[in-house]
Amino acid sequence: MGDFAVNAAVGYQIGAARGDRSILSAMDIREDELLAALGQSINDLIFRHRTDLETKRKEKRSAYPEALGVASATSEPKRRWVDGTPEYSLYICGLRKLFPDALFVHIFRDVRAVVRSMLNFHRIAGTHLVLNEEEAYKYWLRTVRACIKAEQAYGPSVFYRIRYADLIDAPESAMRSLLDFLGEPYTARCLEPLAQRINSSNVPPDFKADDAATNPAVVKKATRLCAEIEENRQATTASRAAADEMEAAFAERVRYVATLDNAYQNAREIIEKLNHSALLLPVIPQVTLTIASSCAALLCQLS
């Protein structure tokens, strides 16, 4: 839904590009109003199709049926839903546009433990989350920096940081604090899903993440940021400057996506013209390579 928010904003720009001659502008429909309406429709769809999810869960109960039972009890209809997709760390601004009343929980975990887990993810999933140790450190840096920026931008009424270690070492107090933030009552049953770890990479006890090819500077940046977060509490107020930075970054991403197709098509046209020009034969290899490299870069970012 992060990419959906960006694409919806692109669609709004197209739909409002002609001022009052465009239906969105003529009716004074703002971008935030359109995205919030789309988010409400998504919310309604999710609740409407809850029974389909419950049916599939019953068919696929695995190693942790008790936890699913707590989440799926038909006698306890749920008023909210949770999406724990890690990549959403990079789309927080757009997600807030879709769901203005959403609350965000940042589960902060020590970078070394995260790297070890990511490098062993293939043991349970059969696929690799990252190619190597350095990529794991960089992924942690990107996502955690984004979460810290969002903490600063939106404040403790919207964004809550909880330490992974507290969930393991002091689950009751950690859960009570989290539920206070969410405005939900605590019950001992809330601890049942924590009795068994899920999505665990089952890291071998003797596993060491010490790839000699890893850039020491990247490791230093990550461990330093990790230590700083451990030492400093979450900000108690929202920062308008940080919120403006996130808005600007979202607008830039929208602009990039909106112009990407035209940039690609223009590059293709230039290549085709050069390839059909006999006068430019001596320089075609170099020019074509330069433009083709640009196209490849664009495609990589798009994918």
pLDDT tens digit string along 89-102? 999 999 999 999 99
Higher pLDDT, 47 or 250: 250
Reduce the DSSP state of residue 131 to 3 states and report it.
coil
- Closest to 288 (Cα-Cα) out of 300, 278, 275, 301: 275
What is the token pair recorded at 243? 């919120």
Which of 130-134, 195-199, 265-269 is the most confident on average? 130-134
What is the token pair recorded at 253? 């991403």
Residue 282's pLDDT is what?
52
pLDDT tens digit string along 274-287? 776 655 545 544 44
Angle value at C-alpha 76, between 74 and 82, nearest 5 degrees? 95
pTM: 0.78
Residue 77's pLDDT is what?
67
pLDDT tens digit string along 71-127? 555 666 677 888 888 889 999 999 999 999 999 999 999 999 898 888 887 667 677
C-alpha dist (Å) from residue 118 to 49, 58, 64: 32, 29, 21
Please state, for a pLDDT cut of 90, what percent of the chain lies above it. 46
Strands (E), 138-217: 159-163
* Phi, psi torsion values for 16, nearest 5 degrees: -115, 10
Residue 284's pLDDT is what?
47
